[in-house]
Structure 1
Amino acid sequence: MQPSAVLKKIRAGETVVTAKSCYTDPELVEIIASSGYDAVWICLEHKRGDASMVYALIQACRLGGADALIRVKPSNYTDVLHLIEAGARGIMLPRVKHVDEVREVVSAMKFPPLGARGFDGIHAEADFGRIPPAEYLAKANDENFLVVQIEEPEVVPYVDEIAATPGVDVLFVGPADLTLGLGKFGKTDDPEVRVILQSVADACARHGKVAAIPCAPEQVKGYHDMGFRFFNVISDFRCVSTGMKAARAAVQL
């Protein structure tokens, strides 16, 4: 079983740096994964891919040496199960409004006694049946992680309870949807928004979890000073878009 690069950093008290893949191209995902990032964030909330393509994207992360972090809003436990059995190390849970949603996903991800996950030991996560079952059960529980997004105003009262929930590793603020829901789209420096951001960082510190946020590289230090330790700093879309614009603007004939 490939150990989690993200959890290795978290357990060592180090900062996690990730990149987002917006396109369903395994080669592109492998390039990102092999560029020194701890995880590649693959979104199945705003994008859809068939099962074989999603599997290929997870494979590309494994080949590149980074964790596959899959954002998905499960309708039932099978929406999570096939992803982690394919080798995705992390699940990102979006649009959470109540702590009970989080507990259901923890139950789907973790084998007993930590959850209620069912056993099937022949997939990529289990090294295709080559890991003894008892070892696999222990390693899977130890190497899979859950990232809970804090992006709905309704979830704010439950931040501390979510941070205290066993099986939750990261609380990931979604600034766009959070400010949108507050009627303050894009105003991440608004006092009300800053209070929420600080409350997430403080709850994580109290309960031994990690606060995360997507931001530009030059914003990392400011959020780090607030207590955030997990940053998504770039996407393939941003690289392509800014690179294309910059190259075209540089050609003046």
Structure 2
Amino acid sequence: MRGNPLKARLAAGEHIYGTMMFELLSAGLPAAMAAAGAEFIIYDMEHSGFDYMQMKDQFALTRGLDLVAMVRPPEKSYSAVSRLLDLGAMGFLLQMSESVAEIREIISWTRYPPEGRRGAVFGGAHDDYAPGPIPEKMRIARERTIIMPLIETARGLAAVDEIAAVDGVDGLHLGQFDLTLSMGIPGQFEHPDFLAAVDNILAACHRHGKFAACMAMDVPTIVDWNAKGFQLTSCNYDVGLIQGALRSMIAGAKAGLAG
């Protein structure tokens, strides 16, 4: 049963890069992303049509690639979280995180008794179908699972320090699009209120020894946010990456012919 190499590296202050999947899945996708340098993929089940069997396949495909598979569940329920753990998810991006009580409850779903109430299944996808001592598998499962509340509402922002302080939270993830909507400044990423919100999230992470995570759409934003303190960065998402590359190539071809 493999561990999660990202956790120690994040704790050491390293920068980690990957991407998010909202639309596209194939058998070759994890290998292609790993070959491009990605160290993790976050699969988004909230905003996509991805189902559990597709996730099981993708988690299996990442297993031999040193690629950490994380997921935003379709809903924040015991059924969704525990099933995705059993299928091999190594971390969670938890949408619309707004309260300490909710985060503590979700964390309890990811841990076996006596620390939590995760149901037991061994010799399955999450422990690589391998034999071995159950206590050791329980320890690895606890240590490898990344919990990232997504701060994407004004209520979540108001509670950000308390959420960051929760034992079991590994990092906080900025949700810039929903956050600006919730703050009444949709898409205004240079607005002073949004910039102050980013600083508050980073400060909460720093105070409580948690990493800060984000999704950035372009290289200048990645560089800026990494310099500010974000460590785990999704470099755009599947459709954005494909459209951006295609748009650039078409524009370049047209300019070349015109010139």
The answer to whether TM tops 0.5 is yes
Aligned-residue sequence identity (percent) comes to 27
User: Hey, what does 1:224 align to over in structure 2?
Assistant: 226
Change (3 A) 1:97 1:60: same
Deviations 1:24-69 (A, max 9, x none): 3232233113432221011001012232211112122223321111
How far did 1:150 drift? 0.2
- The alignment covers a number of residue pairs equal to 253
Of 3-12 and 39-48, more deviation after overlay is shown by: 3-12
Offset, 1:129: 4.0
Q: Is 1:5–1:38's contact at 8 Å kept on the other side of the alignment? A: no
Q: 2: distance between equivalents of 1:25 and 1:124?
A: 19
Q: Match of 1:58, as an amino acid?
A: F
1:127-166 correspondence runs (5 A): 127-166=128-167
Distance in 2 (CA, whole Å) between partners of 1:58 and 1:34 is 17
Give how far 1:168 is off: 0.7
1:193-208 equivalences under 5 Å are: 193-208=194-209
> Normalising to structure 2: TM-score of the pair?
0.90
List gaps (5 residues or longer) in structure 1: none
Q: Which runs of 5+ in 2 are unaligned?
A: none
How much does 1:143 deviate?
A: 0.8
Partner of 2:4: 4
- After superposing the two structures, state which structure 1 stretch, 158-167 or 183-192, moved more: 183-192
Question: Which residues of 2 match residues 22-41 of structure 1 at below 5 A?
Answer: 22=22, 23-41=24-42
CA 1:119–1:236: 2 relative to 1, 3 Å: same
Asked if structure 2 preserves the Cα contact closer than 8 Å seen for 1:102 and 1:162, the reply is yes
- 1:21 aligns to what? 21
Q: How does 1:226-241 map to 2 (within 5 A)?
A: 226-241=228-243
1:221–1:75 Cα change, 3 Å? closer
CA distance in 1, matches of 2:36, 2:227: 26
1:200-243 C-alpha deviation (Å, 9 max, x unpaired): 11111111101111112222232233222221123221221122
How many Å separate the matches in 2 of 1:158 and 1:47? Answer: 28
8 A Cα contact 1:34 1:64, kept in partner: no
Pick closer, same or farther for the CA change 1:33–1:100 going to 2, 3 Å: farther
* 1:92-131 alignment, distance < 5 Å: 92-131=93-132
1:76 & 1:96 partners in 2: Cα distance?
13
Residues 201 and 75 from structure 1, CA distance in 2 versus in 1: closer, same or farther, beyond 3 angstroms?
Answer: closer
Whole-Å Cα distance in 2 between the matches of residues 251 and 189 of structure 1? 32
- 1:206–1:114 CA distance, 2 compared to 1 (3 A): farther
Q: 1:243 aligns with which of 227, 242, 245?
A: 245
Out of 241-250 and 84-93, give the one that drifted further. 241-250
Q: Contact between 2:45 and 2:51, CA under 8 Å: does it hold in 1?
A: no
* Further displaced range: 201-210 or 128-137: 128-137
Give the equivalent residue in structure 2 for 1:76. 77
The reply to whether residue 52 of structure 1 matches residue 50 of structure 2 is no
Change (3 A) 1:113 1:217: farther
User: Helix, strand or coil for the counterpart of 1:128?
Assistant: coil
* Contact persistence 2:103–2:163 (CA under 8 A): yes
Indicate the residue corresponding to 1:179 in structure 2.
180
Contact 2:2 2:127 survives alignment (8 Å) = no
Q: Deviations over 1:105-136 (max 9, x none)?
A: 10111123432212111212222141310100
Q: Distance in 2 between matches of 1:188 and 1:76?
A: 31
CA spacing shift, 1:251–1:222, aligned 2, 3 Å: closer
Aligned partners of 2:52 and 2:84 also within 8 Å: no
